Structure 1
Amino acid sequence: MKRLLPYFMIAAGASLWGIIAIFVKGLADFGFAPMEIVAIRVIYAALFLLLIGVFKYRNEMKLKEKKDVRLFIGTGILSVVFFNFCYFTTISQMNISIAVILLYTSPAFVTILSFLFLKESLNLNKILAVIGTIIGCILIAGVSAGASKITFIGILTGLGSGLGYALYTIFGKFALRKYQPFTVTLYTFILASLFLLPITQLWNRLDLLMDPYVLLYSIGLGFIPSVLAYFIYTWGLEKTEGSKASVIATVEPVVATLLGVMLYGERLGLIQIAGAILILCSVIIVNVTFRKRGAKPLEQKIS
């Protein structure tokens, strides 16, 4: 049982990422735009991380050089802000299950970007995974069945969320050469918060932000599918292989799909389900490739 605990923790962390739509839809119902919801998430997450850092990771809160801020501009602004904006927009445009499946096109983007910028090799498994992801997206985008809803903007932002998360993996690899995961995560959210606060001007909505229900959704969004999920996932990751963790993390779209069906009455057509399965199989193929090489493809995840 003790040996299975890390796997359970990884699945638990991924499951917490899968319920993010509860908080996103809750805040959207109060009239918050996707970018405002992103700002709420990163600001509360940054506050929680600062609090945790003061008590537990003081030595890891320091930057080694001021110029290293540019590393976290990549992870915080070019990745996390862009990724979350696209993801939350997709949730508002289409079914939760479709949104999270499109997010899982990320490994295909990682494969391509790693080949272009990190000079990683391409093999048959990776090429098949990219092709499978593309076909899966075509199946999802090309058919609208039952109560499911497909929009062009939703498909575009859904793929954008996959690209945005892939960028985090690329920028994160450079940052992790010099800093611990906690430091990278902390400054990622701090930079994202500093960037979004003046853009969204959330202080103009202070009265609404103080509403008890909005406050509950905001704290929940910043803590449960963000900070708590990250720490649970990382705890399990430290005790198992990164490739195995990445495959286990595919429980996230399963949880998101069940959430959409049970809470929001969403339905998927058979062809869309086939496309979703094809994308998930492509994710597993990519991670089998990494395991054979002995690498750890997704050493940290912010979903």
Structure 2
Amino acid sequence: MPAVTDDVAAVQGASATSSTMGAGLLFAVGGALSFALSGPIARGLLDTGWNAVAVVLIRMGLAALVLLPFGLRALRADWQVLARTWRTITAYGLLAVAGAQFCYFSAVARMDVGPALLIEYTAPAAVVLWLWLRGGQRPGLVTIAGAMVAAVGLVFVLDLLSGGARVDPIGVLWSLGAMIGAAAFFIMSADTDNGLPPLSLAAGGLLVGALALALLAATGVLPVAYAGASATYAGHEFPWWAPLLALGVVTAATAYVLGIVATRILGSRLASFVALSEVVAAVIFAWVLLGQLPSRMQLLGGVLILAGVVLVKLGEPRPLGPELELDVA
């Protein structure tokens, strides 16, 4: 009888683990899809006269305003958590939010978008290297193979093989800064020991990031340009405030919460590779909303990225931890 009981408990534990991982993958894909919408939606505003700094600033500001009440409520009046983790929140906001955005747009100002984005999306490799050097989590051959397959897929998706890409040394350095910010997002989001609920970390980080970008804009470091014309998506016109609202609520507030929760379930390494699907989704959204039809090479790249993610999962050496209690109330 005890053996049967042990077997039942083992089956139930495996089922709970599988269910938790499934939820983590759903959150990760949802976050990637939300992030992926930001580019095509922002492009519609940029075509009307907005500049990238203004779009990002309002996007982060709106997201902070939306999440702040929920983030405070999730603390359950435990203000000691903020006293212990304000450095973490500040670093998260400066590196994972404001830093990544500022460095990426600075890179794009000096070099083509494709190479800049490819360098930024080497973040999963940086996460694997960090976990290896800091935590001794040496990647296996399957994980390395998955990283290589995903990297080839990114080259195809970004259409870098057609030639003519302009690479600037200073732009490369800015892109590496964006990569560090992206890697910081996954590494810091995976930390469950600080006691910060996902909503609180997202709200605090977005608030710090928005304030940092506002300071840079107010001091003239980042020029800001606005426009009042309607934006066009899929042949339909929308007032300027509609895409801004979508950027703040969907592509920032929702995306950061989903990304943090997913990373705490899956771990920083796997979550960072699943997030590569954002590039594939961005291509699809650009096709639907802006009429930018992806090439066969880009579609092949999307398949390779997904294959790389699967290989990374198969090479994951660490068992999934206990089921995460998603308490955001």
Residue type matched to 2:76 in 1?
N
For residue 230 of structure 1, report the CA deviation from its aligned partner: 4.5
Matches within 5 A, 1:114-263: 114-136=131-153, 142-144=160-162, 150-152=165-167, 156=172, 161-174=178-191, 176-201=193-218, 208=226, 213-231=239-257, 252-263=278-289
Query: CA RMSD, aligned part only?
Result: 4.5
Task: Pick one of 30, 40, 47 that aligns with 1:22.
Answer: 40
Instruction: State percent identity of aligned pairs.
Output: 22
TM-score by length of 1: 0.71
2:75–2:197 contact (8 Å) kept in structure 1: no
For residue 12 of structure 2, what is the aligned residue in structure 1? none
- The structure with the largest helix share of the pair is 1
SS of the residue aligned with 1:152?
coil
The CA distance in 1 between the partners of 2:146 and 2:249, in whole Å, is 33
- Does residue 31 of the first structure (1) align with residue 49 of the second (2)? yes
Which is higher, the Rg of structure 1 or of structure 2? 2
Distance 1:260 1:89, change over 3 A: farther
The CA distance in 2 between the partners of 1:206 and 1:132, in whole Å, is 39
For residue 35 of structure 1, report the CA deviation from its aligned partner: 3.2
* Unmatched 5+ stretches in structure 1: none
- Alpha-carbon displacement from aligned partner over 1:108-149 (angstroms, at most 9, x marks no partner): 22111222233322221232233334444556575127xxx8
Distance 1:103 1:283, change over 3 A: farther
Residue type matched to 1:282 in 2?
G
2:34–2:250 contact (8 Å) kept in structure 1: yes
For residue 267 of structure 1, report the CA deviation from its aligned partner: 4.7
Residue type matched to 1:28 in 2?
L
Distance 1:102 1:295, change over 3 A: farther
For residue 49 of structure 1, report the CA deviation from its aligned partner: 0.8
For residue 95 of structure 2, what is the aligned residue in structure 1? 78
For residue 170 of structure 1, report the CA deviation from its aligned partner: 2.0
For residue 259 of structure 1, report the CA deviation from its aligned partner: 1.9
Distance 1:31 1:83, change over 3 A: same
* Unmatched 5+ stretches in structure 2: 1-18, 231-238
61-70 vs 188-197, which deviates more? 61-70
SS of the residue aligned with 1:32?
coil
179-188 vs 268-277, which deviates more? 268-277
1:14–1:233 contact (8 Å) kept in structure 2: yes
* Number of aligned residues: 288
Matches within 5 A, 1:272-291: 273-290=299-316
183-192 vs 67-76, which deviates more? 67-76
For residue 13 of structure 1, report the CA deviation from its aligned partner: 4.5
2:149–2:308 contact (8 Å) kept in structure 1: yes
SS of the residue aligned with 2:76?
helix
1:42–1:193 contact (8 Å) kept in structure 2: yes
